[in-house]
Amino acid sequence: MTPVSFTRVMVASDDAFELTTMSAALRLHGVNVVGEANNKITGENTFRSLQPEVLIIDVTFANTNAVGVISALRKTNPKLGVVLMTACPDLRLLGVSEKSLPKGVQIVLKRSVADLAVLSFAITQSLESSSMISVAQWVRAHDALHENAFITVLSEFTDTQVATLRLVAQGLSNSEIAKVRFVSEKSVEQIVARIAQHFKITPDRSRNLRVVITAEYFKWIGAPRHN
C-alpha cells in the first residue's frame, strides 16, 4: 500500500473556506493534496488532468448529493479511493441511501476531522476498500471521542419517518405529504407525532410543532445555526 504521504489526493467541496482550510491542514499533516475543486466542472477537469488516487468529497458537492459525481469518476478510474465528508450522522436525512454509494466509499463525519489522523486513516482505507469491500462504511477508527455521534436518536427512525421528516422540513402540510407519500392524512399525522416523540418534543401551545421539528432536522443535517 502506498504511504498516504505519496498518495495523490484531490479535495472537492462547494464551501471555499472548508476547501482551503482542509487542503492546507492535510498538506501540513503530510498528505499529498494535488488538486482542489469547488464546483462540478472544475472537479471533472482537475480529475482528468491530475488523475488523483483518492477523492475527498463533500456529500452535498455540486449542490446535490455526490453519488452521481463519484459514480462517474469511478467509471474513469475503478480503483479510485473515495472519502465522503458529511456533517450529518444519518445520510437518509439528505436523501442518500448508503446502499446507493459506490463500493468501498469511506464516510467520515466532519466533527471527527479535528483529528486529522481520522482522515488519513480514511484515505488509506479508501484505497484498500475500493477493490476489497462491497459496501460503503463509516470510518470509526481513531475516533473514540466521537463514538456517540454514530449512536444517535436517528437510529430509531424508520425510513418512512425520515422521508416524512424531510417533507415536513420542506414546508409541506400533512395533506400535501399524504399526496406525495400516497397515504392518508391521518397516517401522516401519526408519523409526525411519532417523529416528535423521537425528538422528545413535548406538546407546548407556545411553540409550533412543525417549526420545532424542522429546527431539529436542520440541526441534524449540520446546517449553520444563527442565534
Block means of pLDDT (10 residues each) for the chain, 227 residues, are 77 92 92 94 93 95 84 92 92 90 91 82 85 76 48 84 96 96 96 94 88 94 64
Contact call for residues 66 and 136 (beta carbons, < 8 A): no
**CA 109 from centroid of its chain's CA atoms:** 7
Rounded Cα–Cα distance for residues 44 and 213 (Å): 38
145-162 exposure pattern, b = at least 16 Cβ within 10 A, e = fewer: ebeeeeeeebeebeeebb
Tell me what pLDDT residue 6 has: 83
The count of residues in the chain is 227
Question: Which residues make up the CATH 3.40.50.2300 domain(s) of the chain?
Answer: 9-150
Question: Which residues make up the CATH 1.10.10.10 domain(s) of the chain?
Answer: 153-220
CATH code of the region 153-220: 1.10.10.10
Right CATH for 9-150 from 3.40.50.2300, 3.40.50.300, 3.40.228.10, 3.30.70.260? 3.40.50.2300
Residue 83, burial from CB neighbour count under 10 angstroms (0-12, 13-18, 19+): buried
Tell me what pLDDT residue 112 has: 78
Say which DSSP state 57 is in: E
End-to-end C-alpha distance for the chain, whole angstroms: 47
